[in-house]
Structure 1
Amino acid sequence: MNTKYIDLINQSFYFPQEEFKLEDKTLQFHDIDLMELVEEYGAPLKFTYLPQISNNISRAKGWFARAIEKNEYKGTYSYCYCTKSSHFKHVLHEALKNDIHIETSSAFDIDIVENLKRDGKITDETYVISNGFKRAQYVTNIARLINNGHKNAIPVIDNYEEIDLLSQEIKGKFNVGIRIASEEEPKFEFYTSRLGIGYKNIVPFYNRQIKDNPKVELKMLHFFINTGIRDNAYYWNELVKCLKVYTSLKKICPSLDSLNIGGGFPIKNSLAFDFDYEYMVDEILNQIKMVCEEEEVDVPNIFTEFGSFTVGESGGAIYEVLYQKQQNDREKWNMINSSFITTLPDTWAINKRFIMLPINRWHESYERVLLGGLTCDSDDYYNSEQHMNAIYLPKYNKDKPLYIGFFNTGAYQETIGGFGGLQHCLIPTPKHILIDKDADGNITKKLFVEQQKSEDLLKILGYNEQ
């Protein structure tokens, strides 16, 4: 009878997979021995596998290059990274090895851009696409960047006042984009995105504030929807509406030459994940070309802003199962030695799914469980709502430690979780390991930050003021 955990996985999924395999009966992730990682650093821990960032950028660039060739598309393609997904220096430095550009969303992002320029990681040729609602400090920082000679800075206009605010601080002529306020999915509680300017208002806005303005030149139309790029009627319908606005604007605005189709490529959240990226890129370019030919306008240069897709699949978290609580005749709670709310906040906030697999004991029998975090909060759990289905793990045995890993957690979790700050119930932030490959392809590891100590938290709280 097939009762081992490995039998369950083999019956349910194709395994091994590109990034996952078993070696010496323990889980390997991109050839990283995860049990060796635990033995060296302990658990809980988080890690970032830096080469996966470059790998995903290369994959996307390849899809667009092939689609441009196949469709005989006359525009260019530029890959931008959304810094809000992960602002860490090691992430930006790895991403920028790949000749990419940057999208910002707040005032302090511009300080990061200037730091990267001083380090020689970007130049004035690097596109800096500035999204978000812009007021005082953000406007000032964008203006400083442009006034200091960054010619490829493009603030994307989010509301009717931003042209005037930018004009007051920027010396000379500058380029802008306009963000479309797309309609949300029918299941949303509101109809139209709070970000950007409505479809019907964009051409009047251009005529009123940009067309005869000697300081401002429109270069880009920005299209982004919250659900990201998906092969469904909603996405294709919104794209067609966007293209109608683009072609209408292009006919009266010769300087408009770029369409930013935003980001939102999905990342792998299950061993059963299946998404045809290549088909989607090909069909998007085909749709754009077809509409532009019908309207007899030149096709735009294409920009994308991939955040989660860039960095998400580089991250992971490893916990130890401390104890099992049998709360009733059906529910077994495996308690981890950390917190989901603090370390993987999207599991709690939006029921986000991550790949979850045991690190060891794959050749032992399994059981159905729920996973609970250490905080005294009833919402600190991970169950079948977040997971693709019921959670099965090797049976709890107090004499045999069980370690579990959550994978593709590299986007947003640190910033939303308040990295380095206060955590719910004062659960400390785990240690974080950076994993890379040297010139010979050998795995290298470096401790980025230690687990928080009580004195770190007490200082934030004002108890240790010295």
Structure 2
Amino acid sequence: MKTKYIDLIEQTYDFPQEEFKLKDNKLQFHGIDLNDLAQRYGTPLKFTYLPKISHNIQRAKGWFNSAIEKHKYAGKYHYCYCTKSSHFEHVLNEALKNDIHIETSSAFDINIVEHLKSTGKITKDTYVICNGFKRDQYVQNIARLINHGHRNCIPIIDNYEEINLLGEVIDGKFKIGIRIASEEEPKFEFYTSRLGIGYKNIVPFYNQSIKPNDQVELKMLHFFINTGIRDTAYYWNELLKCLKVYINLKKVCPTLDSLNIGGGFPIKNSLAFEYDYEYMVDEIIHQIGQACEEAGVDVPNIFTEFGSFTVGESGGNIYEVLYQKQQNDREKWNMINSSFITTMPDSWAISKKFILLSINRWNEEYERVLLGGLTCDSDDYYNSEQHMNAIYLPKYKKDKPLYIGFFNTGAYQETIGGFGGLQHCLIPTPKHILIDKDEHGNINTRVFAEQQTAGEFLSILGYGDKKTDTEHVEDKELQESIKN
């Protein structure tokens, strides 16, 4: 009988895969020995594999450039990274190696842009697309960037008042875009996105508020679908509606020359994941080109804003199973040495699934389990794997450590989880390491952040300096010994 963990994976999925391979019954991720990583740095552990960021950017640029060439599309393609997916400097540094542009969503993003500019990571030619609802500080920061000469900063108008707010603080002419308030899928609790301006109102808005305003130049129409770019009737219908708006707007606005098709590509969330990226890009370019040709207008330059696709597949989490609790006749709970709520908040908040695999002991028998986190919250669990009704892992043995890995966790989890701040039940943020390759293909690792300490929590909570209770006791004893 095939009862080993490796048998289960090979029977259920096409394995090994490009990034996942097995060596000596231990899992490798892009050639990295994860068991060695866990033993060397300890667990829980977060890691970022930086080369994957550049790899995905280059894949997307290749698909779009190939489609543009195939369809003799007259516009250009611009890849933007939306910083909200992961604001970390190491992420931006890696992404910006690939001649890309930036999309922002709030005031402090502009401070990051200014830092990148001051260090030469971006130039005045880099597009900075400013999305989000804009008030006060965000408006001031955008104005400061433009007034200092960054004319390729394009604030995307989200509501009718923003043009006047920006115009009051920006010197001279500036470029803008308009965001379409797209209609959401029927499963949503609301019908129309809270962001942007309705389809039917965009051309009248241009005629009344933008066309007579000599300070403003409309350059971009921004189209965003919350559920991302997917081969569904809903997506294609919304894209065609967007193209009708673009065509009608282009006929009255000669300066309009760009279409931002926001909404990201999906990323791999299972070993059974399938998505034809090349087909989707080809069809998008074809649809846009065909619609513009039939209407007799110039095709737009294409902008995309890929966040999760850029950084998601670079991240992973490694935990150790601390203990197994047999709660009834059927349920075995494997307790990990961290918390799902704090380290993978999307798994709790929106029931998002990640790739889950054992790191070691692949050649041993498996069992059905549930996974529980350390907090006292009943929602701190992870109980199902994509395309499977339960989690199966090598059998728990008290004397044999079991490491498990969650993969493609690189987007949003740190910021949603409050990196460096308070965590639910004061479970510390794990150690975070960065993994890179040199020009010879050698793997290099370094610690980006150590695991949070009790002292750091106490400081945030207002209990004084960053010393722990133990450190305070030692200090007191030292002071007493000096007095004596």
Same fold (TM over 0.5): yes
State the shift of 1:442 in Å: 0.3
- Aligned CA-pair RMSD: 0.9
- Is the contact between residue 81 and residue 306 of structure 1 (CA under 8 Å) also seen in structure 2? yes
Could you tell me which residue of structure 1 aligns to residue 305 of structure 2? 305
Could you tell me which residue of structure 1 aligns to residue 152 of structure 2? 152
- Is the contact between residue 353 and residue 388 of structure 1 (CA under 8 Å) also seen in structure 2? no
Could you tell me which residue of structure 2 aligns to residue 130 of structure 1? 130
Alignment partner of 1:350 is 2:316: no
Could you tell me which residue of structure 2 aligns to residue 19 of structure 1? 19
Could you tell me which residue of structure 1 aligns to residue 436 of structure 2? 436
Could you tell me which residue of structure 2 aligns to residue 70 of structure 1? 70
* Per-residue deviation, residues 326-361 of structure 1 (Å, max 9, x unmatched): 111111110000000000000000000100000000
* Per-residue deviation, residues 134-172 of structure 1 (Å, max 9, x unmatched): 000000000000000001100000000000000000000
State the shift of 1:386 in Å: 6.8
* Counterpart secondary structure, 2:410: coil
- Is the contact between residue 364 and residue 395 of structure 1 (CA under 8 Å) also seen in structure 2? yes
* Counterpart secondary structure, 2:303: strand
Could you tell me which residue of structure 2 aligns to residue 335 of structure 1? 335
Amino acid in the other structure paired with 1:12: T
State the shift of 1:92 in Å: 0.2
Could you tell me which residue of structure 2 aligns to residue 31 of structure 1? 31
Q: How far apart, in 1, do the equivalents of 2:397 and 2:356 lie?
A: 19
* Greater Cα offset, 382-391 or 21-30: 382-391
- Is the contact between residue 146 and residue 153 of structure 1 (CA under 8 Å) also seen in structure 2? yes
Could you tell me which residue of structure 1 aligns to residue 268 of structure 2? 268
Q: How far apart, in 1, do the equivalents of 2:205 and 2:443 lie?
A: 53
Q: How far apart, in 2, do the equivalents of 1:386 and 1:106 lie?
A: 34
1:391-406 correspondence runs (5 A): 391-406=391-406
**Runs of at least 5 residues in structure 1 that lack an aligned partner in the other structure:** none
Could you tell me which residue of structure 1 aligns to residue 44 of structure 2? 44
Alignment identity in percent?
Answer: 80
Q: How far apart, in 2, do the equivalents of 1:401 and 1:392 lie?
A: 16
Between structure 1 and structure 2, the one with the greater Rg is 2
Q: How far apart, in 2, do the equivalents of 1:387 and 1:53 lie?
A: 27
Structure 1 pair 44–157 and aligned structure 2 pair: CA distance change class (3 A): same
* Per-residue deviation, residues 45-97 of structure 1 (Å, max 9, x unmatched): 00000000000000000000110011111100000000000000000000000
* Per-residue deviation, residues 365-398 of structure 1 (Å, max 9, x unmatched): 0011110000000000001277753210001111
TM-score by length of 1: 0.99
Structure 1 pair 361–283 and aligned structure 2 pair: CA distance change class (3 A): same
Amino acid in the other structure paired with 2:409: T
State the shift of 1:39 in Å: 1.2
Number of residue pairs matched?
466
Structure 1 residue ranges, 4+ long, deviating more than 3 angstroms after superposition: 385-389
Q: How far apart, in 1, do the equivalents of 2:271 and 2:297 lie?
A: 43
Q: How far apart, in 2, do the equivalents of 1:361 and 1:464 lie?
A: 45
* Counterpart secondary structure, 2:298: coil
Amino acid in the other structure paired with 2:159: N
* Counterpart secondary structure, 2:432: strand
State the shift of 1:439 in Å: 1.7
Q: How far apart, in 1, do the equivalents of 2:18 and 2:33 lie?
A: 15
Amino acid in the other structure paired with 2:445: K
TM-score by length of 2: 0.95
- Is the contact between residue 270 and residue 388 of structure 1 (CA under 8 Å) also seen in structure 2? no
- Is the contact between residue 45 and residue 430 of structure 1 (CA under 8 Å) also seen in structure 2? yes
* Counterpart secondary structure, 2:93: helix
Could you tell me which residue of structure 2 aligns to residue 445 of structure 1? 445
- Is the contact between residue 85 and residue 307 of structure 1 (CA under 8 Å) also seen in structure 2? yes
Could you tell me which residue of structure 2 aligns to residue 214 of structure 1? 214
- Is the contact between residue 226 and residue 263 of structure 2 (CA under 8 Å) also seen in structure 1? no
Q: How far apart, in 2, do the equivalents of 1:46 and 1:441 lie?
A: 22
Alignment partner of 1:284 is 2:273: no
State the shift of 1:212 in Å: 1.2
State the shift of 1:264 in Å: 1.4
Q: How far apart, in 1, do the equivalents of 2:395 and 2:387 lie?
A: 18
Amino acid in the other structure paired with 2:20: F
Could you tell me which residue of structure 2 aligns to residue 420 of structure 1? 420
